Copies of this chain bind each other. A is one copy, B any other.
Amino acid sequence: MAIQKPSIPKGTRDFGPAEMIKRKYIFNTIKSVFEKYGFLPLETPSMENLSTLLGKYGEEGDKLLFKVLNSGDFLKELSAQDLAEGNSTSASVKISEKGLRYDLTVPFARYVVQHQNEIVFPFKRYQVQPVWRADRPQKGRYREFYQCDVDVVGSDSLLNEVELIQIISDVFAALKISVTLKLNNRKILYGISESIGHADKMTDITVAIDKLDKIGLDNVNAELAAKGIEADAITQLQPILALQGSNAGKLERIKAMIADSATGMKGIEEVETILSFVQALEIPLQPELDLSLARGLNYYTGAIFEVKANDFPIGSISGGGRYDDLTGIFGLKGVSGVGVSFGADRIYDVLTGLNLFPEDTDITTKVLFVNFGGTEQTAALKLLSEVRKAGVAAEIYPEPVKMKKQLEYANKRSIPYVVLIGENEIVSRMATVKDMRKGEQHAVPFEKIAQFLD
């Protein structure tokens, strides 16, 4: 067989040891916060039936699903007519019945419905798994990437929203990233649409004002006009788009405007309740009410959240919200949920950009035993076993090559200690321990070596 130049599919990545250790730091930090709040781990299959996935992410989303070719004789499902028509979309479902997970939310909804009789509600679950999207790869956008989701389903209580704010606060405090948490409520957005006479156009309105940060006020107004909102209504919207100041001040002004919308006022009440708990519990991260925050996904029905890093220019690094009928599509009505998702790749970029990874993430093996061969090797191996028994990550260079090469290995691997057991050390039963960072050397009795390195 011809020799192949190895490569991987575009938009996918290998995570070598250095990246893996940093990624594990992020995932472990996030998971340990989730667990402290009583959330339980879940994993669903990488492949779902296409019937579970299709139609859940809009037309664009359907196109971005990776479909898995049926095993066996799939060709017999295709007809000459299929070829003649040339419609790859309709043909694909004839030869493919499975697709790769596009997000963690739909599989979670599917899981909840399928296992509703075993689940203890309220069900608090977290899920950290890769998802796949056939998007055009570009900087920071991958075809395979991890999502970290945390959700509660089966409880309407706003305490769940408060808990998610605590989780966001704890996660970014643990990662030492300074962030801004923006909060809004879909019901308020509905109230605004209603108050300007366009309850029917809530989606168009929220999609437009969501872009305020990115495209500026003039372009937002132009988009609103293009969607058929008349000038009068757009004028009414202006004070909301310009709202500044404290949360309390914003709430007062918006209340005055949407007082006639029962739904809108319900949204105000929800925000007020959440904020009063945030105060009472002295949560370090105070959310900032942002009435232009809309978030794209249309299944949100209550609170919505978005987190940005303060000192690094990148999109949102976490976000989520309340959805009142996620499981309805799978036949289970009346189950409300709320959740947030953490963007591991962007968090990785922020930690790298701000140099916030802990200093010792590159240290994996703590000590290398130099291999001198013969009886010295056997003595070193015995001591190595003792050190490992004490829980210290330790290695011996597998071949008795030149010491220079062995020390180079220790340096390249950032191993901070090197132990030498030569003839003299065996006689004196004192190991020579080199501290590679300080350049110091110590004589340590064999029986104290594990303790010295621990």
**Smallest CB gap from A387: residue in B:** B36
**Contact assessment for B49 and A7 in the assembled complex, using a CB-CB cutoff below 8 Å:** yes
**Smallest CB gap from A87: residue in B:** B75
**Smallest CB gap from A86: residue in B:** B75
Kindly state whether residue A261 has any CB partner on chain B within 8 Å. Answer: no
Q: A104-146 vs B: 1/0 string, CB under 8 Å? A: 0000001101110011101011000010101000000001100
Kindly state whether residue A298 has any CB partner on chain B within 8 Å. Answer: no
For A132, give its contact among B17, B36, B46 (CB under 8 Å): B46
For A92, give its contact among B69, B87, B98 (CB under 8 Å): B69
* Given known A74-B88, A83-B78, contact A20–B42 (CB-CB < 8 A): yes
**Contact assessment for A155 and B12 in the assembled complex, using a CB-CB cutoff below 8 Å:** no
For A43, give its contact among B20, B86, B88 (CB under 8 Å): B20
Contacts from A to B (Cβ < 8 Å): 1, 3-9, 12-17, 20-21, 24, 35-38, 40-49, 51-52, 55, 63-64, 66-69, 71-76, 78-80, 82-83, 86-88, 91-92, 95-98, 100, 110-111, 113-115, 118-120, 122, 124-125, 130, 132, 134, 143-144, 152, 155-157, 159-160, 162, 166, 277, 280-281, 329-331, 364-365, 371, 378, 381-382, 385, 388, 391-396, 398-399, 409, 412-413
For A1, give its contact among B7, B49, B55 (CB under 8 Å): B55
**Contact assessment for A391 and B96 in the assembled complex, using a CB-CB cutoff below 8 Å:** no
Q: A322 CB to closest chain B CB, in angstroms?
A: 13
**Contact assessment for B36 and A391 in the assembled complex, using a CB-CB cutoff below 8 Å:** yes
**Contact assessment for B38 and A166 in the assembled complex, using a CB-CB cutoff below 8 Å:** no
- The interface residues of chain B lying within 8 Å CB-to-CB of A64 are 71
- The interface residues of chain B lying within 8 Å CB-to-CB of A100 are 46, 68
**Smallest CB gap from A398: residue in B:** B157
* Bound Cα distance A409, B123 (Å): 10
For A72, give its contact among B43, B83, B88, B281 (CB under 8 Å): B88
For A40, give its contact among B6, B35, B364, B412 (CB under 8 Å): B364
For A80, give its contact among B83, B97, B391, B393 (CB under 8 Å): B83
**Contact assessment for A47 and B391 in the assembled complex, using a CB-CB cutoff below 8 Å:** no
**Contact assessment for B122 and A47 in the assembled complex, using a CB-CB cutoff below 8 Å:** no
- The interface residues of chain B lying within 8 Å CB-to-CB of A24 are 41
**Contact assessment for A3 and B69 in the assembled complex, using a CB-CB cutoff below 8 Å:** no
* Given known A17-B40, A83-B80, A113-B6, contact A12–B364 (CB-CB < 8 A): no
- The interface residues of chain B lying within 8 Å CB-to-CB of A111 are 6, 14, 16
**Smallest CB gap from A45: residue in B:** B12
**Contact assessment for A73 and B46 in the assembled complex, using a CB-CB cutoff below 8 Å:** no
For A398, give its contact among B1, B71, B96, B155 (CB under 8 Å): B155
- The interface residues of chain B lying within 8 Å CB-to-CB of A79 are 83
- The interface residues of chain B lying within 8 Å CB-to-CB of A21 are 40-41
- Could you give 30 example pairs across A and B, Cβ below 8 Å? A1-B329, A3-B331, A5-B331, A6-B111, A7-B52, A12-B46, A14-B44, A14-B114, A14-B115, A15-B41, A15-B44, A16-B111, A16-B115, A17-B125, A35-B364, A36-B392, A36-B393, A37-B388, A37-B394, A38-B365, A46-B132, A73-B86, A75-B83, A76-B88, A80-B83, A83-B83, A280-B378, A280-B382, A281-B381, A281-B385
- The interface residues of chain B lying within 8 Å CB-to-CB of A143 are 47
**Smallest CB gap from A399: residue in B:** B157
Residue among A37, A69, A160, A412 with most chain B CB within 10 A: A69
For A75, give its contact among B66, B82, B412 (CB under 8 Å): B82
Q: A432 CB to closest chain B CB, in angstroms?
A: 20
- The interface residues of chain B lying within 8 Å CB-to-CB of A96 are 69
**Contact assessment for A166 and B364 in the assembled complex, using a CB-CB cutoff below 8 Å:** no
- The interface residues of chain B lying within 8 Å CB-to-CB of A68 are 66-69, 100
**Contact assessment for B95 and A86 in the assembled complex, using a CB-CB cutoff below 8 Å:** no
